[in-house]
A and B are shown apart, each in its own frame.
Chain A
Amino acid sequence: MHIPDNYLSPSTCAVFGAAMIPAWRRAVKKIKDEIPRKKMPMLGIGAAFSFLIMMFNLPLPGGTTGHAVGAVLVAILLGPYSACIAVTAALLVQALFFGDGGILAFGANCFNMAFIMPFSGYYIFSILKKYFKNEKGEYIASFIAGYIGLNIAAFFAAVEFGIQPALFKDAAGLPLYCPYPLSVSIPAMMIPHLLVAGVVEGLVTSLVYAYVKKVSLDTVYEGSVSYKPLYILIATMVILCPLGLLAQGTAWGEWGAEEVVSLLGYVPKGMEKGISFNSLMPDYTVSGLSETLGYIISAVAGIAIIFLIFKLVNMKSLKHEK
C-alpha cells in the first residue's frame, strides 16, 4: 500500500499533498479542542503504535504472512483525528528513515492511509455500532470497518496509479510514470485486498479492539465526530478528478495538453518563474483518455454515493435516537 516514488507524477503528488493540508489543519484543530495539551504525548506514542502494527506478521493460508495497516484500529481506539496525525507521523518516519513509501508520494500515501482509511473506517464503525447493539455486534462492526476502510484506501491507491499512464506520456505515447492503466491497476490492487489483506485488516481491527475493550475499557476513544470531513473528502475527490467535470464539456479523446497540465501541473506552474518550464518538462503530452476516464468518473461517483448513503442512514438513525 505504500506508494514508492516515481510511480506517480510530481504533479499528482503535489495535488495530494495540497489536499492533505486542510485535513491536517482540521485534525490539529479538533485535537486541540478535544484533548487537553497533556495528552499530546499520546499522539507520538500513537504514531509509534501505528508504526509497530505494520511490523506484526500474521499467518496467511498457504504458509505466507501478511500485515495489517492498522489505521482503522487506531481511529477506533484514539479517534479519527488523532489517528490522522498519528498515522501521518508513522508514515513520515517510514518514508524519511526507513525508505518505505516515497517522499514525494508522501502526500498521496497520507491521503490514502492517514485520511481516507481512518475516517471511512471510523464512520463505518460508528454507524454500524448503532445497528448492532450488543457487544458481539460491535466486534463485527469493527471487522467490517477494517475490511472496508482498507479496501477504500487500496482503491484510491489503485486509482492514483491507474490515472498515470493516461495523463503523463512522452512524445511517443509511452507512459512516464506508473505504466498500468486503471483496467490493470484496479484489479491488481483490489483482488488481493478484497480477498486477503482486507480480511487480515478486519480481523486485527476487531480482535485488538475486543481485547482492549475487554481488559481496559476506559482507554477506548469516546468522542463524537462531525461529518464535515466527509464533505471535505467528497470535495477533494471532485477536485482531484477534475477530469470528471471537464469531460462533460469536451469530447472524448480531444484533450489539449495545456488543459490537463494546467489542471494537474501544480508544481511546474509554481516553478515557471525560476526555471524554464519547457526545459523541465519537455514532452509532457496528454493524448487520448479513452474509456479509462469513464471508469474514473463512475468509480468516484460510486464512492461518493456510498458515503452519501452512509450519511443519510446515519442522520436517520440519529433522528430515531432523539
Chain B
Amino acid sequence: MIELKSICFSYKDITALNNINLKIEKGESVALIGPNGCGKSTLLKLLSGIIFKSEGQYLFNGTLIDEKRMQDNIFSKTFHKNIGFLFQNPQLQLFCPTVYDEVSFGPYQMGFSKDEVQKRVFDCLNLLGIWDLRDRAPYNLSGGEMKKTALAAVLSVNPQVILLDEPMNGLDPKNKKFLRELLLRLSESGKTIICATHDFDYVKGLFYRAIVFSKEHTIIEDAPFESVVNNKALLERNNII
C-alpha cells in the first residue's frame, strides 16, 4: 500500500530523512521509534502529502506521489480522504470556530445529507467522549481535549490509513488506555495505522512492527515490535531510553 524507495528530505540545509526504504501493507500497524529530531514527524508529513521528497520515490497504492501528481485536484482529494493525520501539536490542526464545526468539516465535503453528517459527528464525538465540548472554541481547550477533537475530526472522514504523531503525549493515563483500545479496534477493522511514539507501555499489543530511526535520520531496525522493545541495548545505544 505504501512504499518508499530511497527517500531523502531536507529543510533547506538541514537533513531530516536520509535514504529511507520502507514498505507497509494494508492493515498493518506500525510504530515509528527514535530520538527527538530523528525525522519521525517529517516522515509522517511526507506520507500525508504535506511535504514532498527531495529525492527518491513515494508510491501509494502503486501511484507515484509527488507535487505534480498532487496538482490533479480529484486525485489529491481522494488521497487526502484516504490518509488521515493527527499532528504532533493538534492546536495547529484546528481552524474552525467550534468543536462541532471542526468534526463536521470533512463529512460536509463528502456530500452527505445533513442527517448523515450529524450522525457521523455525533458518533465521533461520543466515541471520544467529547460531546459536551461540541460548542466550545477549540483554541481554549486543554491539550488533551484538543487532541481528542483533532482525532475526532480525522476519524469523521473515515480514512483507510491513520497517521498519528505522538498521540499519547498530553493525555492522562485513562485516556491513554482508551486511545489504545480505540486504535486496536480500528486496526482490527482493517485500517492501516502508522504511529510515532515513545510510550512503549501504553501501546503494548497494538503494533506488531516497529521501525527504529537513528539520529542520523536513517532506519536502523525494522522488526517485530516486541523484539525491538525488549532489545534494551539497541534502544539505549540510540538514545531512545
Contact = CB atoms under 8 A, between A and B. Distances in A.
Interface of A: 211, 214-216
B205 interface: no
Contacts of B97: 211, 214-215
Interface in B73-92: none
A216 B137 CA distance: 9
Contacts of B231: none
Instruction: Kindly list the 3 A-B residue pairs having the minimum CB-CB distance in the complex, ordered from nearest.
Output: A215-B137, A214-B97, A215-B97
10 contacts: A211-B97, A214-B97, A214-B137, A215-B97, A215-B137, A215-B139, A215-B140, A216-B137, A216-B139, A216-B140
Nearest to B136: A215
A216 B139 CA distance: 9
A215 B139 CA distance: 8
A40 to B, nearest CB: 24
A211, A214, A215, A216 — which one has the most chain B CB atoms within 10 A of its CB? A215
Contacts of A214: 97, 137
B136 to A, nearest CB: 9
Contacts, number: 10
A195 to B, nearest CB: 28
Interface string B127-140: 00000000001011
A215 B97 CA distance: 6
B72 to A, nearest CB: 16
A216 B141 CA distance: 13
Nearest to B137: A215
A211 B139 CA distance: 12
Interface in B111-156: 137, 139-140
B111 to A, nearest CB: 20
A10 B97 CA distance: 48
Nearest to A214: B97
Contacts of B137: 214-216
A147 to B, nearest CB: 23
A311 to B, nearest CB: 36
A214 B137 CA distance: 9
A28 B30 CA distance: 57
Given A215-B97, A216-B137, 8 more contacts: A211-B97, A214-B97, A214-B137, A215-B137, A215-B139, A215-B140, A216-B139, A216-B140
Contacts of B140: 215-216
B95 to A, nearest CB: 10
A49 to B, nearest CB: 15
A280 to B, nearest CB: 44
B153 to A, nearest CB: 17
A250 to B, nearest CB: 59
A261 B97 CA distance: 56
Contacts of A211: 97
Nearest to A215: B137
A300 B97 CA distance: 42
Nearest to A210: B97
A202 B129 CA distance: 39
A216 B97 CA distance: 10
A243 B139 CA distance: 54
Contacts of A216: 137, 139-140
Nearest to B138: A215
A86 to B, nearest CB: 21
A92 to B, nearest CB: 26
Contacts of B139: 215-216
A216 B98 CA distance: 12
A211 B97 CA distance: 7
A216 B138 CA distance: 11
A97 to B, nearest CB: 17
A214 B140 CA distance: 13
A214 B98 CA distance: 10
A104 to B, nearest CB: 33
A214 B136 CA distance: 11
A216 B140 CA distance: 9
A124 B140 CA distance: 32
B4 to A, nearest CB: 31
B109 to A, nearest CB: 16
A211 B137 CA distance: 10
B210 to A, nearest CB: 40
B141 to A, nearest CB: 11
A230 to B, nearest CB: 35
B1 to A, nearest CB: 33
A214 B138 CA distance: 12
B82 to A, nearest CB: 25
A143 to B, nearest CB: 18
A215 B140 CA distance: 9
Q: Which residue among B97, B139, B140 has the maximum number of chain A CB atoms within 10 Å of its CB?
A: B97
